[in-house]
Structure 1
Amino acid sequence: MAELLEKAKNYVAEKVTNMPKPEASVTDVDFKRVSRDSVEYLAKVSVQNPYSTSIPICEIKYSLKSAGREIAAGTIPDPGSLKASDTTMLDVPVKVPHSILLSLAKDIGADWDIDYQLDIGLVIDLPVIGNFTIPLSQKGEIKLPTLTDMFA
């Protein structure tokens, strides 16, 4: 009997492991707007759902790092769901306080941009499996706003 249960357990584990899972990628990180206390950037995330039913997104966690330091982090609770058998575009707004940008003056230098690493954890609720986190990471450069951006 124990052998039969072990075979059944292995069969189920193998099927769950080989199930298709949603895939995601960061498609763009760009300047959005300037406010009195912060600069807001917008990360666009493309998520492909292989299932014929929509999947709820539990939360999106993000962390923006520059020069080896975390300059922004947060969580977006309950951002909606993934469309069935389709690609869903998600917007992840990231606010960076002005005080932190000033402390990055060395990195900003003459080219007026910030070298960054954006880490995103997309937590979705898969049937049978439960909560599943899709980890994403992207490195690049973000342009800082100019005076024309602030008054446009």
Structure 2
Amino acid sequence: MDIVDQAKHFVAEKVVNMPKPEATIIDVDLKGFGLDGITYLAKIDVSNPYAVTIPIGEIAYKVKSSGRGIATGSIPDPGSLKANDKTMLDVTIKVPHSLLISLIRDIGADWDIDYELELGLIIDIPVFGNFTIPMSYKGEMKMPTLSDLFRGNQTADMAAEPADA
């Protein structure tokens, strides 16, 4: 092996073993509901092991229930990750009523929907380039009742637990 190959091998090994940012979905709650659909809020805890601030390019999400996608979207340029610290991110997820109606069988007697939330946090790390941190979260969405809609009650929530990413 010549010196150039040794240098490439050394750099590649160091890059593979470098710490990378990690993220976890902490909680998902009902944020509100209206005529256009229901809005949920996912809270994400992201740790940045680097001594520099890292810009977040995009957060992409997909909500599934019974194996079907019920909501997808993305949040472009949601900010940046603090250097050597944890950053809490809020991700707003809109689910149209029309898609919830299609899941009426799952709602059943207990008035909830089993779901899986998949999130991808896309960050731009110097040397690595774009890096996606995948996350997953499973739980059940408690649906607002008709009386909740008329009273403006927004206290329903989503019971859930993190899934393995």
Structure 1 unpaired stretches of 5+: none
Alignment partner, residue 51 of structure 1: 50
Q: Does 1:112 align with 2:111?
A: yes
* Distance in 1, Cα, partners of 2:10 & 2:111: 55
* Distance in 1, Cα, partners of 2:30 & 2:109: 18
Deviation at 1:38, TM superposition (A): 0.7
Alignment partner, residue 70 of structure 1: 69
Amino acid at match of 1:60: I
Q: SS state of the match for residue 46, structure 1?
A: strand
For the 8 Å contact 1:47–1:87, the answer to whether it is kept is: yes
* Distance in 1, Cα, partners of 2:23 & 2:133: 7
Alignment partner, residue 38 of structure 1: 37
* Distance in 2, Cα, partners of 1:128 & 1:94: 32
Identity %: 63
Alignment partner, residue 99 of structure 2: 100
Alignment partner, residue 146 of structure 1: 145
Q: SS state of the match for residue 41, structure 1?
A: strand
Aligned residues: 151
* Distance in 2, Cα, partners of 1:24 & 1:64: 18
> Structure 1's 46 and 149: CA in aligned 2 closer, same or farther, altered over 3 A?
farther
Q: SS state of the match for residue 93, structure 2?
A: strand
Alignment partner, residue 17 of structure 2: 18
* Distance in 1, Cα, partners of 2:108 & 2:30: 18
Alignment partner, residue 156 of structure 2: none
Amino acid at match of 2:91: V
RMSD of aligned residue pairs (Cα, Å): 1.2
Q: Which has the higher helix share?
A: 1
Deviation at 1:149, TM superposition (A): 4.1
Alignment partner, residue 121 of structure 1: 120
Q: SS state of the match for residue 99, structure 1?
A: helix
Deviation at 1:3, TM superposition (A): 2.2
Deviation at 1:118, TM superposition (A): 0.6
* Distance in 2, Cα, partners of 1:3 & 1:83: 40
Structure 2 unpaired stretches of 5+: 154-165
